[in-house]
Structures are given as C-alpha cells and as structure tokens.
C-alpha cells in the first residue's frame, strides 16, 4: 500500500521510484518506530548513506515519510501513515522514548487554538519530561 502510494506520488511529480527509494521504503515498512538514516543505510545493501538521505528528503517532500526529533540526537524517520497516529514522549534522564496516541493532543490543540489563537504542531518534536522510574529517583 505505502509503496503504491509513493509510486503514484512520485510519478505525479515527474519522478520515479528508483532502487534507493524503493529499498528505503521497504526498510521503513519493516521498522516498528522512528529510525535514523544511518540505521536505514546499514540495513539496506549497496545503497550509500547519502543516497538514503536523498531518498528520505524526496519521500518527506511527498508526505510519505516524516522526521521527528526525540532528543538532541539526529532526526529519526518513519512512514507518515504510521506516524500520524502516534506522538513521542522522551525521558530527559534516561532517554526512554514512549509512544502515545496522537489523539491525546487533540483537546490541547483545540484549547490552544480557541484560547490563544495558536496552532499546535505536536508531531515534529518529542515532548520532554521524566519517566516514572526516573521521577521516583529524583
């Protein structure tokens, strides 16, 4: 499904799927969460990391892939289809990333829009805090 959608989007933009883009899409489809470009490159045979970055840029431009920042490290990539339903929380102490339903942010987004004329974009950055274990130790 994702590959078919990507092919249609690429072709409508005058582009083709290509070997690297296809392998990156397949690798992303096998992951359970966000992953670095370097990790994707390590799992894709005969494709240089620079080609992975270029493929990710095009796929993100088309809306097939999105990137998220979980902490101070590199951007992590995931398929938009999967990413649209989750948001990320990250423990500032131990670095644990916790996925939560995106729907949790809907009431907050509505209130911010209504009361503060502000449109929340909760999908690009993780929400920092402390996990229960680290909070108990503090």
Domains of the chain: 2-80 (1.10.10.10), 85-137 (3.30.1490.190)
Bridge partner list, 78: 66
For the chain, the average pLDDT equals 87
Of the given ranges (4-8, 67-71, 123-127), which has the lowest mean pLDDT? 4-8
Mean pLDDT along residues 52-75 = 88
Bridge partner list, 100: 87
**60-70 pLDDT tens trace:** 988 888 998 88
Question: DSSP letter at 126?
Answer: P
Total-model pTM:
0.79
Tokens of 14: 């005058």
Tokens of 22: 């296809």
């Amino acid at each position: 499904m994702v590959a078919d959608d990507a092919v249609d989007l690429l072709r409508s933009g005058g582009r083709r799927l290509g070997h690297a883009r296809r392998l990156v899409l397949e690798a992303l489809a096998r992951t359970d969460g966000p992953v670095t470009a370097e990790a994707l490159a390590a799992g894709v045979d005969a494709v240089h990391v620079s080609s992975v970055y270029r493929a990710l840029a095009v796929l993100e431009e088309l809306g097939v892939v999105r990137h998220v920042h979980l902490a101070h490290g590199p951007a992590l990539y995931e398929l938009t289809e999967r990413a649209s339903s989750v948001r990320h929380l990250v423990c500032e102490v131990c670095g644990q990333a916790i996925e939560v339903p995106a729907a949790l942010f809907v009431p907050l987004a509505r209130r911010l829009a209504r009361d503060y004329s502000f449109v929340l974009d909760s999908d690009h950055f993780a929400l920092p805090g402390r996990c229960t274990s680290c909070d108990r130790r503090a």
